[in-house]
Amino acid sequence: MEQYSFKYLLNILSQNIQALTYTQITLLDLLDKDGYKRFINCYNEFIAKMIERGYTKDFDESVANELNGIWSAIYGICQHIIAEAMDLIYDDTSEILKTLCGTLTREMTPKEAENCSFSLRFLSKPECCKKILSWENTE
């Protein structure tokens, strides 16, 4: 029951993020600094950590068949949230760039490569490229 509740909450978060994306409202437009810090801590602790640990063969073998489907769906929702929400969650691209540069300088695990692909997709958006170029020119 708890896993289904968790999936339901992630679906709600995913839909809200999609709505914010369409309206181009960032989390910093809605939250004060403390609220944003609480959100980003929870985001990193649950959503990002779920992708980091991943849906692996070991996990697959450790749960009953009925839970396989729910955890596979939860993992998919977490991937969707990360892919859709980077521009809403991270107002400052420098954190993403630093993490990406650190990861690219060493041999990556498959999960790290997956995380890099999310960052690269986000950073390749035209509006993000403009932001990065103007940031570099002001340094």
Residues 32 and 87 in one domain: yes
Residues 16 and 28 in one domain: yes
Residues 103 and 70 in one domain: no
Residues 17 and 75 in one domain: yes
Residues 59 and 84 in one domain: yes
Which helix (H) or strand (E) element contains residue 42? Answer: helix 33-42
pLDDT at 84 over 80: no
Lowest mean pLDDT among 20-34, 44-58, 67-81, 122-136: 44-58
Q: Which of 132, 98, 89, 136 is nearest to 116 (CA)?
A: 98
Give the model's pLDDT for residue 26: 77
Residues 38 and 83 in one domain: yes
pTM above 0.85, yes or no: no
Q: Give me the long-range contacts of 105-112 (CB less than 8 A, separation at least 24).
A: 110/54, 111/51, 111/52, 111/53, 111/54
Q: Which domain range does residue 132 map to?
A: 92-139
Give the model's pLDDT for residue 55: 57
* Pair of tokens at residue 82: 């990360």
Q: How many domains is the chain partitioned into structurally?
A: 2
